[in-house]
A and B are shown apart, each in its own frame.
Chain A
Amino acid sequence: MKPNIVILLLLSLIMAGGAMAQSSADILKTSEEKRRGIESSTAEMSMTIIRPSWTRTMSMKAWSKGEDYSLILITGPAKDKGTATLKRKKEVWNWLPRIERVVKLPPSMMSQSWMGSDLTNDDLVREVSLITDYDHKKLADEVVDGRKCWKIELIPHDDVAIVWGKVIMVIDQKDYLQLRTEFYDEDDELINVMKASEIKTMGGRPVASKLELIPQDEEGHKTILEYKSLEFDKKVPEAFFSVQNMKRAK
């Protein structure tokens, strides 16, 4: 489907106008579309892993197309340059440039750390849909960094394989930015907090350019993602997200 800019603009105007009346699902849908682009997104970013005794920064490029396809390419440091992670629907591959081999990740690896960070492979390639795989409930509004926000509670459906027992998202009412996300386990204990800040205009829209993932049970552990550039809805063919192309991506 070709996105028609005029219709899109109209739609967002209407949505903005009727913001108070929106359902949680609509809010999440708009928010996700803004985050990911309706069609696709291309990003350049850096990831910093913080541990009590060391920190490490990597730079990377990421492409995504809808919920099904994404490709992340490590561009630095030199030792890891060229390493790529590809998601196609439910399958995940790694490209290991030093030995020129492709490895398909088994489902059992999904809960493992991605590149040594606090993100898991699962976080990266999230198969579940925020909109259809959860039940939503609006909680009382909240103000974060001077912005009025909706607070939405998401409870995963029983038949969906989601490790969380509950997710709470705090979404800015003006720009639909996901300013804070809290991940709870099945015993209702807070496990991870994702904080978004440093709102900048990127790819023609306001974007939270800094994301911090803070695990709650490990002191001094943190992973920071910072966007250097973002582009939305550039034409990316589906063939771009192929095992063959993963080896060539630049």
Chain B
Amino acid sequence: MLFKIAWRNLWRNKRRTFITMASVFFAVLMAIFLRSIQEGVYDQMIDNSVRYYRGYVQVHQNGYWDEQFIDNTFEDSPELQQTLENEKEVRVVTPRLESPMMVSTGSNSRFSLMVGIDPAKEDQITRLKGRIVEGEYLEEGDKAIVVGVGLAEKMKLALGDTLILLGQGYHGQQSYDQYPIKGMVKFGSPELNKRMVYLPVKEAQYLLASPDRLSAYAMDVSSRRVSGKVVEQLESKLDSGTYEVMDWQEMDAELLKFIESDRAGGMVTMFILYILIGFGIFGTALMMISERKYEFGVQIAIGMKKIQLAYILIMEMVFIAVMGVLAGAIVAIPLQYFFHANPIDLGKDMAKVYESFNIEAIIPTSTDPSIIIDQAVFVLIMTLLIMIYPISKLFRIKPIEAMRG
């Protein structure tokens, strides 16, 4: 009964209802869209690091992560590889030997990160082959390198040019050799573009005078969520004095910390947006009470209980909020998916600015449904909180004054 009255009340003054609903609608749409972009950029940053480079889980020699140095590598063993491959949630296991090295044309030199890879398996994890923009991908047994496009650009290198790799090998040995450039890869992250030099792992081991040694086994797991579980299981199977097992959250702790603090900053913006919406709803609710003072006066005078009236009013506001939120969400979902598939390209000028933050100047949206749910729940709770003041006003209504007013 009361429910029905509330519903009818809404449509008695359609314009007021629509205006309020519209304010909720735009607020929700805006909030969802902003959050989607924000989360989308975070996802992209994580992808750039985790999916395109590190992999979700890695095994190193114990202590390697804190001191990433060629002497802290481990000796490869078939048993270790077998143990990792046998793990249920692990999809692919790939060996890597990484070391910072100087790359040089003789007169021009730069720092780089040399990564020895198993070309076929690496591609299964990081899709490296698909990132080749010029030349060809590595094959096992090649005595050649693939470099990031940023590095090639900075050093004015072309395919087929010979590059000298120079650095410190195993146990302090001087390591150097020269390799032709077979291909160039392009990553989302400008940092990776400028830094990466890939070599087949056997050649890297030879170069660093560290036969059979690896800095890591990188693994791809069936989904991001199980990486923690895989770490736990591997830790129980491997000797913890010899090996350390880490998932992307541990390896990318710095990135995650950055995201967390940035998200907190984003919350402030969202909070301001919510205050704006809140006052909109608050204004409407107050207006609703004062406009309908006479009506309430009559209703109370003929015996309607104030509590019932309050219930009707709250129902009205909840209807408005729910419909506004629903409409906002319904419009937001296709937008989320559209901009996820067609990320906003900020263009060349912005690219430079974003590059300094090591972010691609392409903004995809996240399609995480929890964003919508969070916003919806938040707006509803806020609506209910806002109703406290107008309702308390309702309880102070004196029928005679109200009807005269």
List the interface of chain A (C-beta within 8 A of B). Answer: 49, 51, 53-54, 56, 79-80, 83, 94, 96, 98-99, 101-106, 108-109, 113, 115-117
The 5 closest A-B pairs by CB, nearest first: A116-B172, A106-B109, A103-B104, A54-B171, A99-B178
Q: Which chain A residues border B174 with CB–CB below 8 Å?
A: 80, 83, 115-116
B177 within 8 A of A: yes
Q: List 15 interface pairs A-B (beta carbons < 8 Å), by A numbering.
A: A53-B171, A54-B71, A79-B173, A83-B174, A98-B177, A99-B178, A101-B164, A103-B102, A104-B106, A108-B111, A109-B109, A115-B174, A116-B171, A116-B173, A116-B174
Q: Which chain A residues border B107 with CB–CB below 8 Å?
A: 104
Determine which residue in B102, B107, B166, B172 has the highest number of CB atoms from chain A within 10 A of its CB, and name it: B172
B176 within 8 A of A: yes
In residues 104-148 of chain B, which contact A (Cβ within 8 Å)?
104, 106-107, 109-111
B168 within 8 A of A: yes
Q: Which chain A residues border B110 with CB–CB below 8 Å?
A: 106
Additional A-B contact list (8), CB under 8 Å, known A104-B109, A105-B109, A116-B168: A54-B172, A79-B173, A83-B174, A98-B177, A99-B176, A101-B106, A115-B174, A116-B171
CB distance from A221 to the nearest CB of B (A): 11
B178 touches A101 (CB 8 A): yes
| Cα distance A18–B63 in the bound complex, in angstroms | 57
Per-residue A-contact encoding for B41-58, CB less than 8 Å = 1, 0 else: 000000000000000000
CB distance from B245 to the nearest CB of A (A): 23
**Which residue of the partner chain, among B109, B164, B169, contacts A96 with CB atoms under 8 Å?**
B164
Q: Which chain A residues border B169 with CB–CB below 8 Å?
A: 116
A49 touches B104 (CB 8 A): no
**Which residue of the partner chain, among A83, A102, A109, A115, contacts B106 with CB atoms under 8 Å?**
A102
B168 touches A51 (CB 8 A): no
Q: Which chain B residues border A80 with CB–CB below 8 Å?
A: 173-174
Minimal Cβ-Cβ distance residue in A for B111: A108
| Cα distance A56–B169 in the bound complex, in angstroms | 13
CB distance from A18 to the nearest CB of B (A): 46
| Cα distance A49–B169 in the bound complex, in angstroms | 14
Q: Which chain B residues border A94 with CB–CB below 8 Å?
A: 166
| Cα distance A113–B172 in the bound complex, in angstroms | 9
CB distance from B203 to the nearest CB of A (A): 14
A99 touches B172 (CB 8 A): no
B71 touches A53 (CB 8 A): yes
Minimal Cβ-Cβ distance residue in A for B102: A109
| Cα distance A54–B174 in the bound complex, in angstroms | 15
Q: Which chain A residues border B166 with CB–CB below 8 Å?
A: 94, 96, 103
Per-residue A-contact encoding for B66-89, CB less than 8 Å = 1, 0 else: 000001000000000000000000
Q: Which chain B residues border A99 with CB–CB below 8 Å?
A: 164, 176-178
| Cα distance A116–B174 in the bound complex, in angstroms | 7
Minimal Cβ-Cβ distance residue in B for A99: B178
Q: Which chain B residues border A56 with CB–CB below 8 Å?
A: 171-173
A49 touches B172 (CB 8 A): yes
| Cα distance A103–B178 in the bound complex, in angstroms | 12
Q: Which chain B residues border A83 with CB–CB below 8 Å?
A: 174
A113 touches B168 (CB 8 A): yes
Q: Which chain B residues border A109 with CB–CB below 8 Å?
A: 102, 109
Minimal Cβ-Cβ distance residue in B for A105: B109
CB distance from A23 to the nearest CB of B (A): 41
Minimal Cβ-Cβ distance residue in A for B109: A106
User: Given A51-B71, A98-B176, A108-B111, does the pair A103, B171 have CB atoms closer than 8 Å?
Assistant: no
| Cα distance A109–B164 in the bound complex, in angstroms | 15
Per-residue A-contact encoding for B166-189, CB less than 8 Å = 1, 0 else: 101101111011100000000000
CB distance from B73 to the nearest CB of A (A): 12
